[in-house]
Chains A and B, each alone.
Chain A
Amino acid sequence: MESERSVVIAPEALDDLIGALRRRGFRVLGPTVRDGAIVYDELDSASELPIGVTDRQEPGSYRLEERDDEARFGYAVGPHSWKRFLFPPRITLWRAKAENGGRKIEEEPPNETQLAFIGVRSCELSAIAIQDRVFIGGKFVDRDYAARRDGAFLLAVNCGEPGANCFCASMDAGPRVRDPYDLALTEMLDGEHRFLVEVGSERGADVLAELPSVPASQSDVASALAVTNDAAARMTKAMPQVDLHALLAGSLEHPRWDDVASRCLSCTNCTLVCPTCFCSSVEDTSDLAGVETARERVWDSCFSLDYSYIHGGSIRASSRSRYRQWLTHKLGTWVDQFGTAGCVGCGRCITWCPVGIDITEEVAALSKQEEKSHAATA
């Protein structure tokens, strides 16, 4: 931690922060309460933050509860992720119009609005880094993602309140922020309610300079560090510490897949809430007159039958094969493709699975029974 550059701000300064970003032309997006959950939406002021609200999560269950303080970031992660804004559920790629006997094709202009994300958790920064590798890290750059990602302002928040489904520590993705950010906050509720702010970029420093702040004392820095240390210590869930790549590669015919398939609804919720899942499909539209057509890209999922429809049928016709595909890609072959696993331990897939299927439990079952079968053959 660069204590000499750290400052302390009061909760009220968050409103100045949002104002400073809005004045710079950013579309400011952050957490707010809607329909019984903390979702990400456009913020006009800091009063829209989930003040004094926390979330209680279990597999397949999420409830908001009142806190006995005025914490602004006293919750874990909700149903939305920043993926909605960087990789939106539906975009138009190009349009074509019938003209003079031919067709005129127009590429959809990329999104030019600068995005600012308020309250990005460590796991979410890791997830953004993973999607960066997928969309802009290789030979083929996704121009829409690139335009949205380019210049996005990241206001990170160190986690003080891990949810019951969080396991970022075991995925080496939190709870302390590590990946690049512009500004990083640590909310301190011991004594006076205040935030330690660390600077991660020049423009972060530039924005911070507009806010009322005082230099951080040694004790501020120590209590900020205690916040994430406590969070890590309170995190109850963990991914089994095994070689995931090898485990998945060796589990293709494991009986556990039948067990999970009996519970799995193939509803796609886990993949759509996952901040790293990136599958989409491309669809064509046309109007009644057949004059205007367009090509759209829309979120899809490996849990849909259509997603593996090749020629005359779906390759992954059973939900056993679809769940296996998800886990095997996420934790195994993702590493071959992108150099890391596709999971950051945010727990969303566990919470938002209606029947509460828990990725860590499934892995535990795969590894336990594997040990057993090794023991049997030994």
Chain B
Amino acid sequence: MKPTLAVWKFASCDGCQLTILDLEDDLLALTGAIEISDFREATSAVVEGPYDLSLVEGSITTPHDAERIQEIRRNSKALITIGACATSGGIQALRNFADVDEFTRVVYASPQYISTLATSTPISDHVSVDFELRGCPIDKRQLLELVSAFLIGRKPRIPTTSVCTECKRRGVVCVTVAHGTPCLGPVTQAGCGALCPAYNRGCFGCFGPMESPNTSSLIPLLRRLGRSDTDVERLFSTFNAGSEPFRKAAGHG
């Protein structure tokens, strides 16, 4: 019998789930190797758990979701979180540094009906997680690699070094050194294949902090390249704002 897969959504934009649908030809290979038992974005057919593998997208932002993830964990042999929301809280973790009551009053006409937590937190803050796949969105080759490794029972090839390693392997010219473009690549985890530098853009950190991020050495460089303190704070206040090294670099304590 084929192993069963379920895909779950929490507070997120659905982009990581779409990456699964975007596998194109490999999607057939995936459905050949694994039985998709619950994946609302793709199919309305639902098979009861427990599941061999659950992929979880999104962060925990409501009391209801905090309950739901416990149920999913109980029903999953392996649980892998996918994307910046699920692994660090996502862009919505900016609420962690602000007053959520004030937000709800400003945004909603009837804030009394809104049930939300003061924070957006990664899944690993709530249940044990077998692997965290980074990215906003995740990289489809990395997803295939992770599922292939899971199926055969080997260690996945998911590097935790900087984006710079991928620039150099690809032969991409460094945008910081050769163009003076600020780049978060030295403190950001590899995985995208140096997507942004390959298009002459600085990395904006969507894969979150690398294994040993030295943000206190990178920040003076960003300042030398013309970024103000506010710019630096904003650079670190995006999809992975909730991760500790980026949170500290942004001055969110």
Closest to A307 in B: B161
Contacts A267-B162, A288-B151, A305-B212 given: A37-B33 contact, CB under 8 Å? no
> For the complex, what is the distance from the CA of A304 to the CA of B221, rounded to whole Å?
21
**Could you tell me how many residues of chain A have their Cβ less than 8 Å away from some Cβ of chain B?**
46
**CB within 8 Å of A: which B144-176 residues:** 144-145, 147-149, 151-152, 154, 157, 159-162, 164-165, 168-174, 176
Of listed A283, A288, A305, residue having the most chain B CB within 10 A: A288
Interface flags for A296-325 (1: CB within 8 Å of B; 0: not) read: 001101011110000000000001000000
Contacts of B200 in A (CB 8 A): 35
Contacts of B34 in A (CB 8 A): 288
Contacts A265-B187, A305-B211, A352-B174 given: A288-B147 contact, CB under 8 Å? yes
Would you call A289 and B178 a contact (CB within 8 A)?
Answer: no
Interface flags for A273-308 (1: CB within 8 Å of B; 0: not) read: 100000000011111111001000011010111100
Of listed A80, A272, A354, residue having the most chain B CB within 10 A: A354
Contacts of A285 in B (CB 8 A): 145, 148, 157
Would you call A35 and B173 a contact (CB within 8 A)?
Answer: yes
Would you call A39 and B151 a contact (CB within 8 A)?
Answer: no
What number of A-B contacts does a CB cutoff of 8 Å give?
Answer: 135
> What's the nearest-Cβ distance from chain B to residue A263, in Å?
5
Contacts of B231 in A (CB 8 A): none
Contacts of A39 in B (CB 8 A): 171, 173
> What's the nearest-Cβ distance from chain A to residue B174, in Å?
6
Dominant secondary structure of chain B at its interface with chain A: helix
Would you call A266 and B179 a contact (CB within 8 A)?
Answer: no
Stretch at the interface among A58-66, A145-153, A247-255: A58-66
Would you call A265 and B32 a contact (CB within 8 A)?
Answer: no
> For the complex, what is the distance from the CA of A269 to the CA of B185, rounded to whole Å?
11
Contacts of A35 in B (CB 8 A): 172-173, 178, 200
Selected contact of A286 from candidates B30, B149, B186, B221, CB within 8 Å? B149
Q: Can you list 15 contacts pairing A with B, beta carbon distance less than 8 Å?
A: A60-B221, A61-B177, A62-B177, A63-B178, A268-B165, A273-B168, A284-B157, A290-B151, A290-B152, A299-B168, A304-B159, A305-B211, A306-B161, A351-B177, A355-B217
Starting from the known contacts A60-B221, A64-B178, 12 additional A-B residue pairs (CB-CB under 8 Å) come to: A79-B174, A79-B178, A262-B214, A265-B164, A267-B185, A269-B186, A272-B165, A285-B157, A288-B34, A304-B211, A305-B161, A355-B218
Contact surface of B with A, Cβ cutoff 8 Å: 26, 29-30, 32-34, 144-145, 147-149, 151-152, 154, 157, 159-162, 164-165, 168-174, 176-180, 183, 185-187, 200, 211-212, 214, 216-218, 221
